[in-house]
């Protein structure tokens, strides 16, 4: 599922490092992009793509990709019920969508990251 800025985001992931981790009960991470190597992404919103999967107990897990000023910023991972995530879902099982869109697609994380 292409979206505005997806190609540039793929390039950014070649130049990204994890600069901060939230902690053992929160798998979310903050990224740092080597901006001299990549191009900013012309995304239309701070969260251009989301994913939904399931925890080991069957509870929903939401994954949001945050982009700030065209640069990958954060991968937010949480359970809407407020409980801690116990097991990250397999990327191949995720259902992905662009906020405000009714289009959904499986396996988008691999496509965004260029691994599909």
97-114: pLDDT as tens digits: 887 665 555 544 444 444
Residue 46 resides in a domain? yes
DSSP state of 25: T
Separation CA 111–CA 65 (nearest Å): 14
pLDDT tens digits along 53-101: 999 999 999 999 999 999 999 999 999 999 999 988 888 889 988 876 6
Q: Which pTM value belongs to this model?
A: 0.81
Cα 9 to chain centroid, rounded? 10
Residue 1 resides in a domain? no
3 state SS of 92:
helix
Residue 47 resides in a domain? yes
pLDDT tens digits along 13-66: 999 999 988 887 788 999 999 999 999 999 999 999 999 999 999 999 999 999
Compute the CA torsion angle 51, 107, 28, 55 (nearest 10 deg). 80
Residue 18 resides in a domain? yes
Containing structural domain, residue 79: 6-112
Smallest Cα–Cα separation from 74: which of 37, 35, 25, 19? 19
Cα dihedral sign, 10-68-83-100: negative
Residue 10 resides in a domain? yes
Residue 73 resides in a domain? yes
Residue 58 resides in a domain? yes
Total of domains in the chain: 1
Phi and psi (nearest 5°) for 18?
-80, 120
């Amino acid at each position: 599922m292409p979206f505005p800025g997806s190609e540039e985001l793929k390039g950014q992931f070649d130049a990204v490092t994890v600069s901060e981790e939230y902690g053992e009960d929160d798998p979310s991470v903050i990224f740092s992009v080597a901006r001299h190597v990549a191009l900013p992404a012309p995304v239309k919103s701070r969260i251009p793509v989301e994913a939904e999967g399931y925890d080991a107990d069957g509870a929903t897990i939401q994954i949001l990709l945050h982009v700030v000023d065209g640069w990958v910023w954060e991968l937010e991972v949480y359970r809407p019920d407020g409980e801690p995530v116990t097991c990250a879902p397999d990327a191949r099982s995720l259902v992905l969508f662009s906020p405000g869109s009714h289009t959904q697609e499986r396996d988008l994380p691999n496509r965004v990251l260029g691994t599909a």
